[in-house]
Structure 1
Amino acid sequence: MADKERTTEEVDQLIEELPNDIQTIVLTLRKIILNSSPWLIEEYKWSMPNYSYNGLVCYLQPAKKHVNLGFHRGNELQDKDMNKLLQGTGKTMRHIKVKKAEDIQPEAFTSLIQGAIALNEN
């Protein structure tokens, strides 16, 4: 279970209602996000978990067959995305679509999350 000090009940409830495979992905991603920085704050906004530090950093968007790990300023992370994981063509947002738990790349995801945090420090 994630660090109770840093998680919210709304997100816990959302996760409980998800199908098992999607739940596993969300729990794993949540742990990676929270482990990537002690300063990230979990919030339940726009019907999904959002993580912020000096502004929005990333979010988890569960769907029926996948989970998006999204970055609010993902367009600014393109140069840090060595594995070409980021998708999307929006003005600023980008996401990584995770279809199964085996697709999760902890080191790559952590470095993108830390990159996103660094953007908010300037």
Structure 2
Amino acid sequence: MPILDPRIDAYIAKSAEFAQPILTHLRALVHASCPEVEETVKWGMPHFMYKGMLCNMAAFKQHCSFGFWKAEMLLSQADTKTEEAMGQFGRIASLKDLPPKKTLAGYIKKAMQLNEDGAKAPAKAKTAKPELQVQDYFLAALEAQPAALTHFDAFSTSKKRDYVEWLDEAKTEATRLRRLEQAVEWIAEGKSRNWKYEKC
């Protein structure tokens, strides 16, 4: 008999009406495919553990999601709908949106095998941020204040980026000029853009 976590019972009970049969179906399928599975709640969502993280499910206002911890090793990129929603099966609004039981059970068994084999999920590749482009008018204003330019040159790229983006986000020219004046003043004092919130 499966061991059920009462927190997941409560999670399903408080989910939207459309979501309850989906979550109940997924939970039963995981237990049927992996009788030794353990239930838990992580990051506020139901998770299923078998020799490590196996899979998880979640309910939102208008859809549910279901996903595998090592999805990249289970499903081809063409078979996933990660751009639509969290998990690999897109926005699940009804049981019809799920793959057939047999297909899902096969994925669960493969995920179990990966955990038994000690396979590690591939590390996510970090996407490099574009090179920082400092606006000409900002550079000119900094050059007019030698102390500001010295501090700005010594700032880390992320601190510089905070100022550059703050100026870029200004909706009007008046706001941009106000921000520019404030930025040069703070930088001349060696302050980062968010200095008020930094721990002393």
Q: Same fold (TM over 0.5)?
A: yes
Q: Report which of the two has the higher share of helix.
A: 2
Mapped to 1, the partners of 2:51 and 2:39 lie a distance apart of 13
Tell me if the contact between 1:42 and 1:50 (Cα under 8 Å) persists in the aligned partners: yes
Mapped to 1, the partners of 2:103 and 2:115 lie a distance apart of 19
- Counterpart for residue 48 of structure 2: 51
Residue 7 (1) aligns with residue 1 (2): no
- Counterpart for residue 162 of structure 2: none
Mapped to 1, the partners of 2:7 and 2:67 lie a distance apart of 19
Residue 63 (1) aligns with residue 56 (2): no
Secondary structure of the corresponding residue to residue 35 of structure 2: coil
TM-score normalised over the length of structure 2: 0.52
Mapped to 1, the partners of 2:45 and 2:12 lie a distance apart of 10
- Report which of the two structures shows the higher radius of gyration computed on alpha carbons: 2
Equivalenced residue count is 113
Tell me if the contact between 2:34 and 2:109 (Cα under 8 Å) persists in the aligned partners: yes
Following TM superposition, by how much is the alpha carbon of 1:94 offset from its aligned partner in structure 2, in angstroms? 4.8
Mapped to 2, the partners of 1:26 and 1:78 lie a distance apart of 21
TM-score normalised over the length of structure 1: 0.83
Identity %: 25
* Residues 76-114 of structure 1: per-residue CA shift (max 9 Å, x gap): 0025x9x92x3327xxx9522322122232111111111
CA gap of 1:94–1:24, structure 2 versus 1, over 3 A, is closer
RMSD: 2.1
- Counterpart for residue 94 of structure 2: 100
CA gap of 1:64–1:17, structure 2 versus 1, over 3 A, is same
Mapped to 2, the partners of 1:56 and 1:25 lie a distance apart of 21
- Counterpart for residue 24 of structure 2: 27
Letter of the 1:95 partner, please give it.
Q
Give structure 1 stretches of 5+ with no counterpart: none
Q: Report which of the two has the higher share of strand.
A: 1
Secondary structure of the corresponding residue to residue 88 of structure 1: coil
Mapped to 1, the partners of 2:15 and 2:111 lie a distance apart of 27
Aligned residue runs from structure 1 range 73-92, under 5 A:
73-79=70-76, 84=79, 86-88=80-82
Following TM superposition, by how much is the alpha carbon of 1:12 offset from its aligned partner in structure 2, in angstroms? 0.4
Residue 18 (1) aligns with residue 18 (2): no
Q: Which has the higher contact order (CA 8 A, sep 6+)?
A: 1
Tell me if the contact between 1:72 and 1:94 (Cα under 8 Å) persists in the aligned partners: no
